[in-house]
Amino acid sequence: MHQQITLEKKFRPEIEGLRIVAALLVAVYHIWLGRVSGGVDVFFVISGFLITTSIVSRYNRTGEFRFLPYIMNLLKRLLPSVIVVISAVIMLSIFFLPRSIAEKTFDETIASLFYFQNWQLALSNTDYLDREQMKTPLEHFWAMSIQGQFYIIWFLLFTLVFFILKKKARWNGVKLLNMVLGSLFILSLGYSIYLTEVNQPWAYFDVSTRVWEFSLGGLLAVNLSRIKITGLMGDILGWLGLAGLLLTGIIFDVSTMFPGYIALWPMLCAAAILISGNMETRFGVKSFLGSKWMMTAGGLAFGLYLWHWVLLSFYQYHNPETPGLLTGLGIIGLSFMLSWLVTRYVEQPIRSMDIGVKPILLLSIGLITNLLIAGGIYYYHQASVPSTDDDFNFNEYPGAWAIQQNMDIETNPDDYLPTVAEAKEDMADSYDDGVHQTRTQGALKVGEYGVTEDHDHTIALVGSSHSAHWLGALQQFADEENIRIINMTQLGSRFSTKHTSGPQKEWNDNAIKYLQDHKEEIDLVVATADVGLADYPEPPEGMVEQLNRIGDDIGIPVMAIRDNQRFGFNIVEHLEQYGYEETRKKMAEIEPIAETAPWDRVEYKSPNVHPVDYTEYFMVDGEYEPIIGNVLIYYDGGHINNTYATTMGPVLKEDVMRIMEE
C-alpha cells in the first residue's frame, strides 16, 4: 500500500472566475494601456495549484504517476485551441502582414507549436515590455511555452518525490512536498530577482525565473486545508486580494521590474483569493468569482488570452494608434466569440474522447498536425524570400560610398538592397558564427576574420552590438590591407568600467585582460565610444575610463567611433508597412543626438584615443534617412545592417590606416 499524501480536492468555482479576471486584465492592459497587468502570473499560480492537486490526487487514488496519461490529459486541454489559433495566424499572416513581420511570425510559429517560444524571444533580443518594438501575433505564446515546460518539470519533480516516498515509507509526504516546493520557490525567486536586475528582457522569458510562481500554487494546493482564518477575515482577505490584483499594473511600473520580487504582488493577491475561497461565506469574494456567469466566462478565459493578442496585433499593423473604446471592446467581444466557437466545436469533442482507448492516436494527430504546419511554413519561407545578388554593385548600390564620393543622391524607394525581407537577418558574420555573445555569457569568445595568417596588422573590434555592426566595414578592406580582425563583442554590454557584477562585468574584465595579454600583436582597438541618444550629450563615464585605460595603461591606439542615432522603432518594419516617406517623417520626430560630438566634451582624453564621427553618413541634407545610395541602412531601430556597413568600408579604411600609421 502506497503512502497517501493528505490533500484536499474539491470543486473550486472561484478559480474559474479568477481565470477570467486574469484573462481580462491581460487583454485590457494590452489593448488600452500597453502594460503588463500581472494576469499571466495569476495563471501560473492557478496552474501550479491545479496540476499539483491533480497529480497528488491521482497518486493517492492509483499509486501511480505515468507520463502518457499525464501528458495526454494536458494535450487534450491545450492542443486544440493552440492548433486552431496558430493555423489561423499562419493563413492571415500570408495575406495581411508585411513580409518582414510574416517571416518573423513564421519563425515564432515553430517555437509556439513546440513550446519553446519563450527561448525564441529571449534569443532574438525581444523586449516584451517595449511598446516601440513591433509585435508578432504569436508573441504572447511565450507564456504557453513556459507553462508547457513547467508541466515537464513537474512530471520529473513528482516522479522523484513519489519514488522517494515508495523507498522511504516512513517519510511524511506533505513535509517532503513542502520542502521540495519551498526550496524551488526560494531558489527560483532569488534567481528571478537577480536576473531581472542584470538582464530584465531575458529574465522575462526564462522559465527558471518563473518556477517559483508555479511553486506557490503547489504550496497552496498542499497546505490550503491547513490554513484557518475567521469568516470576516476571509471575506476581507479575498476582496483585498481582488482589488490588489486589479490595481497591479497601475500601482507598479512593471516595465522594468517584472518578473522579480514585484511579481509577488499579483501572486499573493491570487493566493489571498484562493485562501478566502476555501471558506463558505455569504459575502466573500467567492460569491462573486464563483457565480454562474463568472464560471461560464471562466471557461472561455484560455481562448480569450489566445485570441485577443492575435486580433490586436493584426489591427495595430494597419492602425498603430491605441485602439479606441469601441474598437477595444470589439476585439474583446470577438475574442470571446472565437473562444466559444473553438471550445464548443473543437475542444469539447476532443475532451470527450476516451484517452484510455487510443492515446497514441491523439498524440500522433497533434504531432503530425504540428509537423505539417511547420513544413508548410518552411516551404513558404524558402520559396518566397528573394536573395541579394552575390555580385554586389557599388555603382548601382553605393550606399555610404555615395556620400564619400559626393555623388548626387536620389533614393529610389522601389529599388534598394537589402530587401526588407533580408534586412532583419543582414547582420555581421559574428552573429551567425556564434562569436557575438549574449548578455548572460561572461566567458570571452574571440573570433578571427579577414587575413588570419601572415597578416601585416591586427585590429580588435570590441564592445556591444553597436561595435559588432562595424565588422562588415572592416572586412571590406581587410584582404586589401592584409589585416586580421579580432572580434570580441557582447549583446547589450557597454565597454565600460562601471559594470559592478554579473556576466557583463565578467565579460568586460576578460576583454581587457585579453587586450593586455595580446597588446604586442594588436595594432588598433575599434570600439563604439558613446550612446546614440539625445539623453547622452557626453559619453558615459565608464566608457571614457575604459577607452582611456586601453590607450594609456595598455598602450594600444583606440579608434573611438561615435555611436549612430538610435530611433526606438523598427525602421525596416515601418518602411515596409508605411513606406519610405512616412518612415522618413517618423525618423525626423526622434530627438536627434547633439551636433557636438560627445568626446569633444570629455575633460581628459588619452592621446592614444582617436575619436571619429560618421554621423554625416546617415543623413542627406541634414535629415536622417532609412535608405542612402539605394542601400537600406538598418536591420532594426538603430543597428547598421551588414550591407550598409560594407559600403562604409572605404570610409573606415581612411581612418583606420591613418591611425595605425601615426
- Return the C-alpha torsion angle 296, 301, 307, 309, nearest 10: 140
What is the rounded distance in angstroms from the CA atom of residue 158 to the CA atom of residue 184?
13
Q: Is 363 exposed, middle or buried (0-12, 13-18, 19+ CB in 10 A)?
A: middle
Give the three-state DSSP class for 534.
Answer: coil
Q: Which residues pair with 609 in a beta bridge?
A: 558
Residue 257 burial class via C-beta count within 10 angstroms: exposed 0-12, middle 13-18, buried 19 and up: middle
Residue 205 CB coordination number (10 Å): 24
pLDDT at 484: 97
Q: Which residue is it, cell 455569504?
A: 282
Residue 372 confidence (pLDDT): 66
Q: What pTM, to 2 d.p., does this model score?
A: 0.75
Alpha helices (H) along 199-263: 200-205, 211-223, 231-246, 248-251
Q: Domain extents for the chain?
A: 20-379, 401-661
Could you tell me which residues come within 8 angstroms of residue 340 by beta carbon, excluding any fewer than 6 positions away? 300, 303
Alpha-carbon span 170 to 165, nearest angstrom: 8
Question: How many C-beta atoms surround the C-beta of residue 565 within 10 A?
Answer: 19
Write phi, then psi, for 140 (nearest 5 degrees): -70, -10
- Residue the block writes with cell 574584465: 509
C-alpha cell at 22: 486574469
Strands (E), 87-126: none
Separation of alpha carbons 381 and 454, rounded Å: 42
The correct answer on CATH 3.40.50.1110 for the domain covering 401-661 is yes
| pLDDT for the residue numbered 394 | 63
For the chain, the first-to-last Cα distance in angstroms comes to 85
**Quick one: which H or E segment has residue 484?**
strand 483-489
Q: What is the mean pLDDT of each run of 10 residues along the chain (662 residues)?
A: 71 92 95 86 96 92 86 84 89 78 81 91 67 76 96 96 86 90 96 89 92 96 86 89 91 75 93 88 87 94 96 86 92 97 86 59 60 62 48 72 79 83 88 87 92 94 95 95 96 84 88 95 95 91 95 95 93 88 93 90 93 94 92 93 94 95 83
Burial (0-12, 13-18, 19+ Cβ within 10 Å), 590: middle
Quick check: 526 and 467 in contact, CB under 8 A?
A: yes
φ/ψ of residue 74, rounded to 5 = -65, -45
The span from the CA of 475 to the CA of 650, in Å, is 11
pLDDT for the residue numbered 406? 79
pLDDT of residue 388: 46
149-177 residues labelled b (16+ CB within 10 A) or e (exposed): bbbeebbebbeebbeebeeeeeeebeebb
Handedness of CA 653, 657, 660, 662 (dihedral sign): negative
Whole-angstrom distance, CA of residue 650 vs CA of residue 118: 41
In angstroms, the CA 153 to CA 211 distance is 9
